[in-house]
């Protein structure tokens, strides 16, 4: 009999409202030359008469998804998009001075790992609601295989069940989830009201979006994914990111199966890691695409309206006096600000550190786990991370 271990992830949307607000041609925008990606198109803010408006947009090309039996080609870094003067940080000793090289170092490390990784086979079953329309060519296989390659030294779940539904298929999703649980002879999950609650968490009164991931002690996982009825046919890139994000949560869980949990990892480890991983994985063949998502995802961290300064970061990183899971701030920062912290660690240690730190924190506590995974104490690293991120945001990078 299966025992439910923990609900690993609940994100109303992997993509923040600020970063992915809808864009309509001809409507007002704020800065000439500004760009936004929306439903498969790249829109640019242009001057029309005396007004700044969004143009008609250009379709973002997306490669065809491989079949389950097609090997994923090893990508090559897009070197032409990298400034010749870029310097790669090698440790916390030169991190601040070489901060401009952090995003490229993290992306390059992940790209090289994907190119050489031999992933373990990820078994999955996909159930799509009868009234649910997925993006064109959307399949979990593409994102699952790429993510497994990026973290090929780690164990993958025995099987993942994807239940994908639109607002018209919520009742179907509840029945399907229960049907799968029954087939696994799982009887201790709870009543139907709890299952209904899980399904409803991905939906508002008018539409669905986002996903949550539920894992079991036996290594079987579920991704309950709400699908918006307003998706365009070129929304596959966002679909892939969401699958990668939720699959990464399953990998997190796999690292601690059988471990006595000493400390649950803080939100910027728990959510910042998959938020970064999804971009490293899905943008592995294009550094420009990686930077584009990174900047959009960080849109509310920049500028005069940003709350992120040295004082904010000091409180956010202080685990002794502030051990709340969401750091006593808007949980939105767990994703975008968390991914910036984790990007620094990947730039120095490689993508595997995202799961190493999760495992070590869970089994040893954060400070001991950090030093074990990173090789330097948190007391030394945290002020350097603080000033590096604040300076990056001040510089708009």
pLDDT given at position 204: 87
153 domain-assigned: yes
* Residues of the chain below pLDDT 50: 1-21, 61-81, 233-234
pLDDT in tens, 88-104: 999 999 999 999 999 99
How far, in Å, CA of 382 to CA of 252, rounded? 23
Q: Which of 206, 231, 255 is the last residue of a domain?
A: 255
How far, in Å, CA of 109 to CA of 190, rounded? 43
188 domain-assigned: yes
Q: Which of 231, 255, 279 is the last residue of a domain?
A: 255
Q: Indicate whether 205 and 279 sit together in one domain.
A: no
79 domain-assigned: no
pLDDT given at position 121: 86
pLDDT in tens, 43-88: 777 777 778 887 877 765 443 333 333 333 434 444 434 556 788 9
pLDDT given at position 57: 76
| Number of domains composing the chain | 2
pLDDT given at position 300: 85
Q: What is the CA radius of gyration of the chain?
A: 21
Q: Indicate whether 314 and 239 sit together in one domain.
A: no
pTM: 0.78
Q: Indicate whether 166 and 185 sit together in one domain.
A: yes
pLDDT given at position 346: 97
Q: Which of 219, 236, 255 is the last residue of a domain?
A: 255
Q: Which residues contact 84 (CB under 8 A, 6 or more apart)?
A: none
Mean pLDDT of the chain: 81
63 domain-assigned: no
Q: Indicate whether 203 and 292 sit together in one domain.
A: no
Q: Indicate whether 301 and 356 sit together in one domain.
A: yes
Q: Indicate whether 91 and 128 sit together in one domain.
A: no
Instruction: For residue 267, give its domain range.
Output: 84-116+262-394
129 domain-assigned: yes
Contact 364, 372 (CB under 8 A): yes
pLDDT given at position 75: 43
Q: Indicate whether 230 and 270 sit together in one domain.
A: no
pLDDT in tens, 126-160: 999 999 988 877 789 999 999 999 999 999 998 99
Q: Which residues contact 83 (CB under 8 A, 6 or more apart)?
A: none
């Amino acid at each position: 009999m299966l025992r439910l271990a923990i609900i690993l992830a609940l994100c109303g949307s992997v993509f923040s409202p600020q970063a992915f607000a809808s864009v309509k041609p001809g409507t007002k925008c704020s800065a000439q030359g500004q760009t936004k990606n929306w439903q498969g198109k790249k829109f640019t803010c242009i001057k029309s008469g005396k007004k700044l408006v969004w143009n008609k947009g250009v379709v973002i090309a997306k490669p065809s998804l491989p079949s389950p039996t097609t090997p994923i080609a090893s990508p090559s870094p897009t070197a032409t998009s990298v400034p010749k003067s870029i310097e790669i940080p090698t440790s916390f000793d030169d991190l601040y001075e070489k901060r401009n090289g952090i995003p490229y170092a993290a992306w390059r490390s992940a790209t090289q790992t994907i190119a050489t990784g031999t992933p373990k086979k990820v078994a999955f079953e996909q159930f799509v609601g009868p009234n649910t329309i997925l993006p064109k060519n959307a399949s979990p296989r593409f994102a699952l295989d790429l993510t497994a390659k990026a973290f090929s030294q780690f164990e993958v779940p025995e099987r993942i069940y994807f239940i994908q539904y639109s607002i018209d298929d919520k009742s179907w999703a509840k029945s399907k989830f229960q049907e799968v649980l029954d087939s696994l002879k799982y009887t201790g999950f709870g009543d139907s009201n709890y299952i209904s609650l899980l399904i409803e968490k991905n939906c508002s009164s008018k539409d669905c979006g986002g996903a949550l991931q539920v894992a079991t002690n036996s290594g079987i996982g579920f991704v309950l994914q709400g699908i918006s009825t307003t998706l365009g046919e070129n929304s596959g890139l966002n679909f892939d990111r969401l699958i990668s994000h939720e699959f990464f949560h399953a990998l997190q869980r796999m690292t601690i199966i059988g471990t006595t949990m000493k400390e649950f990892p803080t939100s910027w480890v728990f959510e910042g890691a998959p938020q970064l991983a999804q971009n490293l994985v899905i943008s592995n063949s294009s550094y420009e695409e990686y930077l584009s998502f990174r900047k959009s995802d960080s849109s509310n961290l920049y500028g005069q309206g940003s709350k992120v300064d040295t004082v904010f970061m000091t409180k956010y990183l202080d685990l002794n006096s502030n051990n709340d899971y969401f750091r006593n701030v808007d949980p939105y920062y767990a994703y975008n600000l968390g991914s910036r912290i984790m990007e620094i660690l990947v730039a120095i240690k490689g993508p595997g550190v995202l799961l190493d730190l999760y495992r070590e924190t869970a089994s040893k506590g954060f400070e001991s786990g950090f030093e074990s995974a990173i090789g330097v104490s948190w007391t030394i690293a945290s002020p350097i991370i603080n000033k590096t991120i604040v300076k990056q945001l001040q510089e708009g990078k």
